[in-house]
Amino acid sequence: MEFLPARVDTNRIQPASRKTPVPVAAIETRQISKTFGSGDREVRALDHVSLEIRENEFFTLLGPSGCGKTTLLRLIAGFEAPTSGQLLLYGDDISNEPPYRRSVNTVFQSYALFPHLTVAQNIAFGLEMLGKPKAEISRTVDEMLAMVRMEAMAHRKTSEISGGQQQRVALARALAPHPKVLLLDEPLSALDLKLRKEMQRELKRLQIETGITFVFVTHDQEEALTMSDRIAVMSAGKPLQIGTPREIYDRPANRFVASFIGESNFLSATITAATGDVARVRIGGGIDMEAALPAEAPRSGKVTVAIRPEQVRLVEADAADALPATVTDTVYFGTDTHTHLLLDSGETVVARFQSTLAHSEERANGTRVGVQFWEGSVQVLRETA
Amino acid sequence: MSAVEISPAAGTDQEARAEAARTRRNWLLSLPAVILLLFAASGPLVIVLIYSFLTPGDYSGVKWIPTFDAWTSILFSRDIFDDTLRLADAHLTIFWRSASLSLLTTLITFLLGFPTAYFIATRPPRQRGLWLFLITIPFWTNLLIRTFAIMEVIRNEGLLNKLLMMTGLISEPLQILYSDTAVLIGMAYVYLPLMVLPLYAALERFDFRLVEAGYDLYAGRWMVLRKVILPLVKPGIVAGSILVFMPSLGAYVTPRVLGGGKHMMIGSFIELQFGQGRNWPLGASLSMLLLLIVGIGLFFYVRAMSKEKAHD
Ligand SMILES: Nc1ncnc2c1ncn2[C@@H]1O[C@H](COP(=O)(O)OP(=O)(O)O)[C@@H](O)[C@H]1O
Ligand SMILES: [Mg+2]
């Protein structure tokens, strides 16, 4: 495939005498802030955002509506200028470059296809503006049409194709000039569930095939977890945590991340010892466990810990090393069953079990049980209790 | 028993009769409008058409002798000695001046009107009404008064010349009044709203997110304008151009007042035939010709528009 980047191969076979170069980030934001309006109506859409997006990675901005995802994407594209801070593309400061001089393309949420042009003309647009030779343009357009499987539609007007097909044309149009970075703003949100799942796989395939860095925006945590190499979870104009899907899910650093992605139980705990990124904590005044300790978290005193519902284990009420509790409710979800528990300390815990035909994990309301957590499942949060 | 029973056939018959009654009533209701249109619009037109095939009267009016003379004399003049036909240079000059002034008017109103319409269309929705209102204010004033106002601005002792002399850009007042330039200025001013409104209507429907898509795909400002905006607002450009070009072709008041009658345009030329010229048939044929040109223009416009619609 033509699009496998030659860069990666040359890096691997570089002369032994040269020191391994420090990898340059595809995109780097340095303390970027963006405010809209002024005075009373000032909105701080981005608040000192510093992050690095690596070459060839599928990077996702995840967060609730209004947290600044689109604003960050529009800054990278060049449609907005940062109020303060710097934006680097492969080490070059592009903060003041207009969008048409940035090797960055966007797949718009509304697709924004040109209605007066055919599918093929839409895909050719960027290449024509770059002044590529005719032969190269038609070859690339054919490749792109094949890549998104739209060959049969090449000469249709964009109003004559379905939403899913428009989506694919928008992708092909943005990929055709082979940009250094591709920006996608909730590209799948307008599609129905089945088509969305299909396009998720398709996007991932295209990203691997082209080797282009993707910056993907979504408010759908499942989409983010399944597609991304790394995720930045954003809230109120700030990335709260950046990491691989596993790091984000298994090691949420704060309460927002822990509750926005999946579900979590929050319990108060006391740190009794801390070494490196591991702490000993006493949970619910009853059990002592090892817990993961993120950077910038308190290293002593009272803290909050997060534990995923599927990491909760129910044992006999009088078992040692267990928190005594009462079953208050059982909710059946099909594949899972949730058991709601009231600890004797007054805190609540939800336990999740895979449903079995025998309903072996179901207990009547009022049943006395002991609550334990699987080893390694306890996560200290940055916020103090 | 059978009295209440209605056969299906009787049902449809009754429906048909009710339908016929409805149609009749609708026709009756629209009769006043139809009569008015027939007599007020078509009637005079028919008279003009008939007059264009008659012989001029001795002092004015017509003699009821049918002839094509009026139509041939639009383009040709008959030599009074050997009866041969020659191209009527004076007439051609007038047509040429009218056409070129109208085209220039269309061009100028477009060049001024497009940025204006673009500006209005990109204001927040609540402000747009105010701007449109301002654009239409000149319509409230009589055309003649507006034209005299322009005259006041551009005459030798007028505002424009005074300003230019004050700033020292010129030492002698510019003779603008009674020139083609004056006519052009006046026509552009008078017809500008007719260009702005259809352009605005097209731009208001334009999806400005496409501009960002253009920038994103390496098109600079000029290319976005040429490749994205202009093709998509073309219907508005065509509509505005027709709305300006057609009436300026037959414009009478503005060229007459600002051009001082020296530089005749079709409008004044037609008027001349009914006045001093005492050639009503020629005036009538010229009027019909103008109407024909406008009609053909509109025909092609409507056809192009419906084709465009069929495409979407
Ligand atoms: N052009 C703008 N003018 C004023 N406020 C804006 C503008 N764009 C975004 N905002 C505000 O900035 C915040 C972040 O918006 P946005 O980046 O669109 O969030 P997201 O894409 O995460 O939903 C919101 O409070 C939004 O209202
Ligand atoms: Mg958004």
Q: Read off the tokens for B93.
A: 């000059």
Closest chain B residue by Cα to residue A181: B216
Q: How far is the CA of A257 from the centre of ligand 2 (A)?
A: 19
Q: Which long-range contacts (CB under 8 A, 24 or more apart) does A1-7 make?
A: A1/A209, A2/A143, A3/A178, A3/A209, A3/A210, A3/A211, A3/A212, A4/A209, A4/A211, A5/A56, A5/A211, A7/A55
Inter-chain CB proximity B216 and A115 less than 8 Å: no
Task: Say yes or no: A259 and A243 in one domain.
Answer: no
Tell me the chain A residues in contact with residue B232 when contact means C-beta distances shorter than 8 Å. 115-116
Say yes or no: A112 contacts chain B, CB-CB below 8 A.
yes
pLDDT attached to residue A2: 42
Full residue range of the structural domain in which residue A364 is found? 255-380
CB atoms within 10 A of CB B130: 11
Q: What is the Cα–Cα distance from A168 to A154, expressed in whole angstroms?
A: 12
Q: Which chain B residue has its CA at the smallest distance from A80's CA?
A: B212
Picking from A218, A250, A282, the residue at the C-terminal end of a domain is A250
* Beta-carbon separation of B215 and A79 below 8 A: yes
CA distance A232 to A377: 22
To probe the interface with A, which of B217, B221, B224 has the most A CB atoms within 10 Å? B217
Same domain (yes/no): A262, A288: yes
How many Å lie between the centroid of ligand 2 and the Cα of residue A225? 18
**pLDDT (0 to 100) of residue B57:** 86
Between B212, B217, B312, which is nearest A79 by CB? B212
| Mean residue pLDDT across chain B | 87
A53 CB near ligand 1 (under 6 Å):
no
Instruction: List pLDDT tens digits, range B270-306.
Output: 888 888 888 899 999 999 998 898 888 888 888 877 7
Q: Each residue of B146-156: pLDDT tens digit?
A: 899 898 888 88
Q: Is A99 close to B216, i.e. CB distance below 8 A? A: yes
| Cα→Cα distances A358→A113, A312, B261, B308, Å | 54, 20, 104, 67
Contacting residues of B for A107, CB less than 8 Å apart: none
For residue B210, the chain A residues in CB contact (below 8 A) are: 112, 114
- Mention every residue, 6+ apart, whose C-beta is less than 8 A from residue B108: B184, B188
Contact A36 CB / ligand 1 (< 6 Å): yes
Report CB contact under 8 Å: A129, B223. Answer: yes
B76 within some domain: no
H or E stretch including A332? strand A323-332
Q: Which of A197, A228, A250 is at the close of a domain?
A: A250
DSSP E strand stretches across A18-136: 27-36, 43-53, 58-62, 84-89, 92-93, 104-107
The answer to the question of residue B29 being in a domain is yes
A160 CA distance to ligand 2 middle (Å): 27
Is A13 inside any structural domain? no
Which of A184, A219, A250 is the C-terminal boundary of a domain?
A: A250
Q: Are residues B207 and B305 in the same domain?
A: yes
Q: Are residues A167 and A130 in the same domain?
A: yes
Give the domain CATH number at B256: 1.10.3720.10
**CA-closest residue to ligand 1 atom 16:** A68
Q: Residue B236's pLDDT is what?
A: 92
Sign of CA pseudo-dihedral A148, B218, B110, B124: positive
Same domain, A259 and A295: yes
Q: In terms of domains, do B151 and B45 share one?
A: no
Tell me, what's the pLDDT at A243?
94
Write the residue with the smallest CA distance to atom 14 of ligand 1.
A68
Distance between the two ends of chain A, CA-based, in angstroms?
53
Atom number, ligand 1, closest to the C-alpha of residue A68: 17
Residue A13 dihedral angles phi and psi, to the nearest 5°? -105, 30
Q: Residue A125 and residue B223: Cβ atoms within 8 Å? A: no
Say if residue A211 is in the same domain as residue A292: no
Point out the ligand nearest to the CA of residue A72.
1
Contact status, residue A81 vs residue A102, Cβ threshold 8 Å: no
Q: How far is the CA of A339 from the centre of ligand 1 (A)?
A: 39
User: Domain holding A109: CATH number?
Assistant: 3.40.50.300
Residue from the list B212, B223, B231 with its beta carbon closest to the beta carbon of A112 = B212
Strand partners, A292: A278, A379
What is the number of structural domains in chain A?
2
Q: Say whether both A221 and A268 belong to one domain.
A: no
Check A78 against B219: CB less than 8 A apart: no
C-alpha distances in Å from residue B12, one per residue of A343, B2, B7, B16, B20 = 79, 18, 9, 6, 12
Does B218 sit within 8 Å of A126, measured CB to CB? yes
**B57 located within any domain:** no
Do both B36 and B179 map to the same domain?
Answer: no
Is the same domain home to B164 and B253?
yes
Give the CA distances from residue A334 to residues A265, A337, A338, A354, A355, in Å, rounded to whole numbers and listed in that order: 21, 7, 10, 9, 7
Q: Is residue A69 part of a domain?
A: yes
SS3 B222: helix
Q: Please indicate whether residue A218, judged by its CB atom, sits closer than 6 Å to ligand 1.
A: no
Q: Letter for the amino acid at A60? A: T
Place of tokens 């680097």: A88
Strands A265-275 and A278-283: antiparallel
Task: Find out whether the beta carbon of A159 lies less than 6 Å from any atom of ligand 1.
Answer: no
Give yes or no for a contact between B68 and B53, defined as CB atoms under 8 angstroms apart.
yes
Ligand 1 close to Cβ of residue A43 (< 6 A): yes
In which residue ranges of chain B is pLDDT below 70? 1-11, 308-312
Q: Are residues A124 and A220 in the same domain?
A: yes
Are B42 and B176 part of one and the same domain?
Answer: no
pLDDT digits (tens, 9 = 90+) for B241-275: 988 998 888 888 888 888 877 778 888 888 888 88
In this structure, the residue with its CA closest to atom 25 of ligand 1 is A66
Do both B46 and B163 map to the same domain?
no
What confidence score (pLDDT) does residue A188 get? Answer: 87
- Ligand 1, residue A219: give the atom nearest the CA: 22
Burial class (CB in 10 A: 0-12, 13-18, 19+), A360: exposed
Strands (DSSP E) found in A177-300: 181-185, 213-218, 230-235, 238-243, 265-275, 278-283, 287-292
State whether residue A108 sits within 8 Å of chain B by CB.
yes
Instruction: Please tell me the distance between residue A66's alpha carbon and the centre of ligand 1 in angstroms.
Output: 6
Residue A164 and residue A93 share a domain? yes
A91 located within any domain:
yes
Same domain flag for A229 and A261: no
For A73, A155, A189, the CA distances from A108, given in Å and listed in that order, are: 10, 22, 11
Same domain, residue pair B45 and B97: no
Do B35 and B174 have their domain in common?
no
Are residues A284 and A227 part of one domain?
A: no
Residues A130 and A226 in one domain: yes
Q: What percent of chain B has pLDDT over 70?
A: 95
Asked if residue A2 belongs to a domain, the reply is no
Bridge partners, residue A342, by sequence: A326, A348
* pLDDT for position A6: 41
Residue A66 in any domain: the answer is: yes
Measuring from atom 1 of ligand 1, which residue has the nearest CA? A36
A65 lines ligand 1 (CB under 6 A): yes
- Which of A105, A125, A127 to mutate to probe the B interface, most B CBs <10 Å? A125
Best of A32, A38, A65, A70 for a ligand 1 pocket test (most atoms within 8 Å of beta carbon): A70
Query: Same domain, yes or no, for B107 and B24?
Result: no
For residue B113, what are the CA distances in angstroms to B103, B136, B242, B243?
15, 13, 14, 13
Is residue A294 located within the same domain as residue A242? no
Going from the first residue of chain A to its last (385 residues), give the mean pLDDT of each consecutive group of 10, the final group possibly shorter: 42 46 84 91 92 94 93 95 94 92 93 95 96 95 92 92 91 94 90 86 90 93 92 94 93 90 91 89 86 87 91 87 91 89 91 80 84 91 73
Please indicate, yes or no, if residue A385 is contained in any of the structural domains: no
Query: What's CA A270's distance to the chain center, in Å?
Result: 31
Whether residue A115 is contained in a domain is answered as yes
Mutate: best of B218, B221, B223, B229, partner A, most A CBs <10 A: B218
Prediction ipTM score: 0.82
Chain B residues with CB under 8 Å of A116 CB are 231-232
In chain B, the number of structural domains is 2
Q: How far is the CA of B227 from the centre of ligand 1 (A)?
A: 29
Contacts 24+ apart (CB under 8 A), B100-103: B101/B180, B101/B183, B101/B184, B101/B187, B101/B248, B101/B255, B101/B265, B102/B187, B102/B244, B102/B245, B102/B248, B102/B249, B102/B251, B103/B245
CATH number at residue A349: 2.40.50.100
Contact A305, A283 (CB under 8 A): yes
Is A6 contained in some domain?
A: no
Identify whether residues B116 and B195 lie together within a single domain. Answer: yes
Which residues of chain B neighbour A115 with C-beta distances below 8 Å?
Answer: 232, 312
Amino acid at A143: E
Residues 119-158 of A with CB under 8 A from B: 125-126, 129-130, 157
Which domain covers residue B269, as residue numbers? 86-311
